[in-house]
């Protein structure tokens, strides 16, 4: 039942945070911290217990499972399950939820209770996405996480928040509806083949499909996952949403919501539609490479700090797309590692951008400069997370990108070689960020207080986790490997994918 409790605590915590808001300015924040910390402790207990001993089975390596009928007439059940992949994504979600509350301590001054209600209900929807193994339930949680995030952007965002929120909602809602149509199509195909009406993930594995049906249904799932990732050319909602969202919204968008698209690719696309996915793999890997280079070039050309960091997400998550569709163990391990490391490094950069904007009321880098002398602790943190983003050896991003490139080389040497140029481009925009913000002539007209102890502790924790992944990645690999092997056991790679281009 622990999987159910993880979601219930978020839902109840959100309501409680809203109700206690009139008692004290920070009452709702403390309730949100308590709910998130409780969930994090529960998930961490699983990480040092069942996750370490999970054995690979025909359907994966699930060590938490809860199921009961929901709408039995249509074969819909409330079925939650957790394996190592789900677990690490849940831990990342809860940790970044805590970060979001703490970095918003002074930024959010209006409707504080409603803000934390929306934040925790977004968390509940994301946890449901990572736990649901009934496809109707998965689609339900997919929609649940979008509505509160819309309110976070629209109510607490910046100058053009309404346009950005509507754009975010339209892109994600329309693509989610396309996925729902594909889910229904898959269920009906299974019903025609077996006489059983069910939305259960495990039952739908291996559903007999014609070549064209499998392709169209897979594209329906991809519509939702590639938009959320986001992959070029479906990324256009992302820079606006990141730029206009409050700090917490940017952290959750970059660190958590984008990962639901990558998770969907891993969990659903290849296991449910293996043949169609392998046929599409060369196109998807090419899109990943385009995203790596395009995102890096666009990031280099930005003057708005948050917009620069937003485009780095397009670049970094291109590595995830490349790794997933290479579909070998090295590439998949790299994709998952990149998901975690990107959530930490980019989440930290958005937190720093938010703290800067809170202090100097601008995001424009030409109006910044010389801040290291005024705020050396902030400068040191900015330098660390910038070089983490560019993939410095010894940090988590390097491990993820290196493993992806090794795995991608086994699938297509030419695409892997082109993708490697993204590492050079990332060095350019990362160093540009540090130079424009923290070095150069000092601007005496701007008073920049250094990081407070609370802010330093939050960023310090993110720093420690990135170093941990970079120095000892085996801890993450061991947790995720049974889940990856379980999914690979469902899918047999055709010889063509292993051919070097």
What b/e sequence results for 398-423 when a residue is b if at least 16 CB atoms lie within 10 Å of its CB, and e otherwise?
Answer: bbbbbbbbbbbbbbbeebbebbbebb
For residue 196, the tally of other CB atoms under 10 A from its CB is: 11
pLDDT tens-digit profile of 50-100?
655 555 554 557 888 899 999 999 999 999 999 989 999 999 999 999 999
Nearest CA-CA partner of 10 in 26, 32, 28 = 32
Give the pLDDT of residue 241. 93
Q: How far apart are CA 2 and CA 348, in angstroms?
A: 29
User: Which residues face 200 on adjacent strands?
Assistant: 134
Contact 51, 81 (CB under 8 A): no
**Domain spans of the chain?**
2-498
> Could you tell me the CA-to-CA distances from 271 to 211, 410, 445 in Å, in that order?
15, 21, 58
304: helix, strand or coil: strand
Q: How far apart are CA 344 and CA 399, in angstroms?
A: 14
> Could you tell me the CA-to-CA distances from 176 to 119, 169, 180, 355 in Å, in that order?
20, 10, 6, 33
Contact 473, 397 (CB under 8 A): no
Give the pLDDT of residue 496. 35
- For 357, the enclosing helix (H) or strand (E) is helix 329-360
DSSP 404-458: HHHHHHHH-HHHHHHHHHHHHHHHHHHHHHHHHHHSSS--TTS------HHHHHH
Q: How far apart are CA 28 and CA 113, in angstroms?
A: 5
Q: What is the dihedral of CA 53, 54, 57, 61, to 10 degrees?
A: -160
Contact 65, 80 (CB under 8 A): yes
Contact 177, 191 (CB under 8 A): no
Nearest CA-CA partner of 49 in 84, 15, 13 = 84
The model's pTM is 0.94
Residue 68, judged by CB atoms within 10 A of its CB (0-12, 13-18, 19+), counts as exposed
Question: Which residues of the chain are under the pLDDT cut of 70?
Answer: 49-60, 444-445, 492-501
Give the pLDDT of residue 258. 93
CA angle 300, 301, 302 (to 5 degrees): 100
Contact 31, 101 (CB under 8 A): no
Widest Cα–Cα separation across the chain: 74
Contact 43, 79 (CB under 8 A): no
pLDDT tens-digit profile of 411-455?
999 999 999 998 888 888 888 899 989 887 777 667 788 999 999
């Amino acid at each position: 039942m622990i999987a159910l409790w993880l979601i219930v605590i978020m839902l109840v915590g959100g309501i409680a945070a809203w109700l206690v808001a009139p008692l004290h300015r920070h009452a709702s924040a403390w309730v949100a911290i308590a709910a998130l910390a409780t969930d994090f402790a529960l998930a961490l207990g699983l990480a040092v217990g069942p996750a370490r001993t999970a054995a690979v089975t025909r359907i994966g390596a699930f060590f938490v499972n809860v199921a009961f009928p929901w709408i039995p007439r249509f074969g819909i059940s409330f079925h939650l399950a957790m394996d190592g992949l789900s677990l690490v994504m849940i831990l990342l979600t809860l940790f970044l939820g805590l970060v979001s509350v703490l970095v918003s301590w002074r930024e959010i001054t209006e409707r504080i209770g409603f803000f934390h209600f929306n934040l925790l209900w977004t968390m509940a929807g994301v946890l449901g996405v990572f736990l649901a193994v009934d496809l109707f339930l998965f689609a339900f949680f997919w929609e649940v996480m979008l509505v509160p995030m819309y309110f976070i952007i629209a109510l607490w965002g910046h100058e053009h928040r309404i346009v950005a929120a509507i754009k975010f909602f339209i892109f994600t809602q329309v693509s989610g509806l396309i996925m729902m149509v594909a889910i229904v199509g898959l269920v009906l195909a299974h019903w025609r083949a077996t006489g059983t009406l069910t939305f259960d993930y495990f039952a739908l594995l291996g559903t007999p499909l014609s070549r064209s049906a499998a392709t169209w249904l897979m594209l329906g799932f991809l519509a939702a996952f590639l938009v959320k990732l986001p992959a070029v050319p479906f990324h256009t909602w992302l820079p606006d949403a990141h730029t206009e969202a409050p700090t917490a919204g940017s952290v959750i968008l970059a660190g958590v919501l984008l990962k639901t698209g990558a998770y969907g690719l891993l969990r659903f696309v290849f296991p449910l539609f293996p043949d169609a996915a392998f046929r599409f793999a060369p196109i998807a890997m090419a899109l990943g490479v385009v995203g790596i280079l395009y995102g890096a070039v666009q990031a280099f050309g930005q003057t708005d700090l948050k917009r620069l960091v937003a485009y780095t997400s397009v670049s970094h998550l291109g590595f995830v797309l490349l790794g997933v569709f290479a579909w070998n163990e090295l590439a998949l391990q790299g994709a998952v590692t990149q998901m975690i490391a990107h959530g930490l490094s980019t989440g930290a950069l958005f937190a720093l951008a938010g703290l800067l904007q809170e202090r100097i009321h601008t995001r424009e880098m030409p109006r910044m400069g010389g801040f290291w002398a005024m705020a050396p602790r902030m400068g040191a943190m900015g330098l660390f997370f910038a070089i983490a983003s560019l993939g410095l050896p010894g940090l988590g991003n390097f491990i993820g990108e290196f493993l992806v490139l090794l795995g991608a080389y086994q699938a297509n040497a030419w695409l892997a070689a082109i993708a490697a140029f993204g590492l050079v481009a990332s060095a350019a925009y990362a160093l540009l960020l540090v130079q424009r913000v923290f070095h150069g002539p000092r601007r005496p007209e701007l008073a920049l207080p250094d990081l407070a102890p609370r802010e330093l502790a939050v960023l310090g924790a993110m720093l420690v986790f990135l170093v941990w992944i970079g120095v000892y990645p085996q801890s993450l690999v061991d947790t995720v490997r049974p889940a990856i092997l379980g999914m690979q056991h469902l899918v047999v790679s055709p010889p063509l994918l292993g051919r070097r281009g």
